[in-house]
Amino acid sequence: MQPRRDCLHLFAPQPPQPERPLFVFLPGLDGTGELYARQAAALAPRFDMRCLHLPASDRRDWQALAQRVVAELRACQAASRHRAIHLCGESFGGCLALQVALQAPHLLERLILVNPATTCPDRPLLGYAAEVAPWLPQGVYRWAAQGLLPLLTAPQRVEPAQRRALLAVMQALPLETLRWRLLLLKRFQLSRDALRSLRVPSLLLAGGADRLLPSVREAQRLARELPEARVTVLPQSGHTCLLERDVDLGELLQAPPRAALAPPYSCAAP
């Protein structure tokens, strides 16, 4: 099922399987949910897959976005005998996943955060980028998006087709939408008390070669605050690790801790 373009909704990237638990992807800054086809296909034998589509016109704040996602999750549950939900957020989507989990922890069986962009409020250049973005000529914007690829990916680990798909969704994002989502990241804030209240089993995946954000350090910080969290570090992986050919999210969900660094941390082979 292809996503509609006009409203926030969950779409099924694989044929629906109402007898299986739900697995819901919350995407990165692009908001399309269209970059996870390979991971969704691998997870489909075990889960009923959904991806969030966040339209470019959406200007909700974090609280309102989370409320809308919670409503979508409740609708999915009501239609299918109140199934367990595994919620996975990558980068921007990791911030949203935390907001959703805090609003409705009882809905979630598990929370998976992949290189969450929760350090963005501490990065002054982000506010500057948000202010400059609307004034960039389209040609400069397209060039800048291409220049960001080496920061977002570990190029040798991502197939050319996946890199092209990532670049396409980046270049298609309207400048005003980019500005709004960067401002959301700049304003993102969760207290330590809020994190410590979140009693949902959580897996934090961190790319050890992330050149965009300090993802390993941030995953370890979050794990100290979240009561039921463990960290798995992917030593060679970049920021968009779910696009990498050797990263299998299904395996990472099932894998026991390996090569433990210090509880609750582990280091996976990819």
93-140 per-position pLDDT tens digit: 999 999 999 999 999 999 999 999 999 867 666 666 667 766 677 777
Beta-strand relationship, 85-90 and 202-207: unpaired
Cα–Cα distance measured from residue 122 to residue 124, given in angstroms and rounded to the nearest whole number: 6
DSSP state of 234: E
> Is pLDDT at 12 greater than 80 in this prediction?
yes
The pLDDT tens digits of the residues spanning 152-188 come to: 999 899 999 999 999 999 999 998 999 899 999 999 9
> Is pLDDT at 20 greater than 80 in this prediction?
yes
Contact 160, 247 (CB under 8 A): no
| pLDDT value of residue 140 | 78
- In single-letter form, the type of residue at position 240 comes to T
| pLDDT value of residue 257 | 46
| pLDDT value of residue 185 | 94
Backbone angles phi, psi at 267, to 5 degrees: -125, 115
Which range among 52-56, 86-90, 256-260, 266-270 shows the weakest confidence by mean pLDDT? 256-260
Which helix (H) or strand (E) element contains residue 151? helix 138-152
Q: What are the structural domains, with CATH classification, of the chain?
A: 9-120+190-267 (3.40.50.1820)
- In single-letter form, the type of residue at position 73 comes to L
- In single-letter form, the type of residue at position 181 comes to R
Degrees (nearest 5) of the Cα angle 175, 216, 100? 60
